[in-house]
Amino acid sequence: MKTKIIPAINAQNFEEIKEKINFLKDLTNHFHLDVSSLEFTGYQTWQNSEDLTKIKNLILDLHLMLFLKPQEILKWSKENTETLILHLEASRNPDALLKMAKKTKKKIFIAWSPNVEFVFLKKYLNYIDGVLILGVEPGKAGQKFLKETYEKIVFLKKEIEKNKLKIKLMIDGGINKENFDKILSFNPDYIIMASAIYSSGDPRENYLFFIKKQKND
């Protein structure tokens, strides 16, 4: 599978989400929505799950940077939701949260944050569809990519190969024109990009810049 580039939307309200989707919806039908709480990350984004029903004919990945009780995962499982990305370190009962998430029949990824040890995630790898390696602290867009993330990518790819795991690799956070080629060289299944697309200039031109680089790789 060739690496897929997915635009990420880190927004304060639903109007901003719609605006950012409209910039690119004729170029891609797949978007990654950040959902962040003040309690977990120190930064608050849009959090109204019912707004998702107003988004038609698109594929959505939801990065849930929230303290979640198992039952609360269900409200994020909408018709257009393809992937739910969970922070198990934000749950008092990660086993129960993951069990409930599996009942949604969506793709389930777990996030590997900078401050989380791999041993905490390892036992769940046979029960999920993928891992999102976060190159920044969870929360606000526009942070600088942490260089130790490269080592984590290499390590996880070796674990996947060694244990013959059938999981996908997603890399998110701090990816820009300076480090894109290096990230792409690891051949992840997905690269998630927010600020590099939306923070300056024309989002369409920015998105197409990375698409062309990826195709020419």
Assign residue 123 a region (left: φ > 0; alpha: ψ between -120 and 50; beta: otherwise).
alpha
Averaged pLDDT for residues 141-146: 92
Q: Spelled out in words, what is the top-level CATH class assigned to the domain 4-216?
A: alpha beta
pTM: 0.96
CA angle 144, 123, 159 (to 5 degrees): 60
pLDDT > 90? residue 116 = yes
pLDDT by residue (tens digit) across 36-75? 999 999 999 999 999 999 999 999 999 999 999 999 999 9
In the prediction, which pLDDT does 200 show?
87
| Cα-based distances in Å from 166 to 1, 102, 132 | 13, 16, 14
For residue 141, the model assigns a pLDDT of 86
pLDDT higher than threshold 90 for residue 217? no
The domain segmentation of the chain, as residue ranges, is 4-216
Residues 162-194 pLDDT 10s: 999 999 999 999 999 999 999 999 999 999 999
Quote the distance between the C-alpha of residue 143 and its chain's center.
15
Dihedral angle computed from the Cα positions of residues 115, 118, 124 and 125, in that order, rounded to the nearest 10 degrees: 120
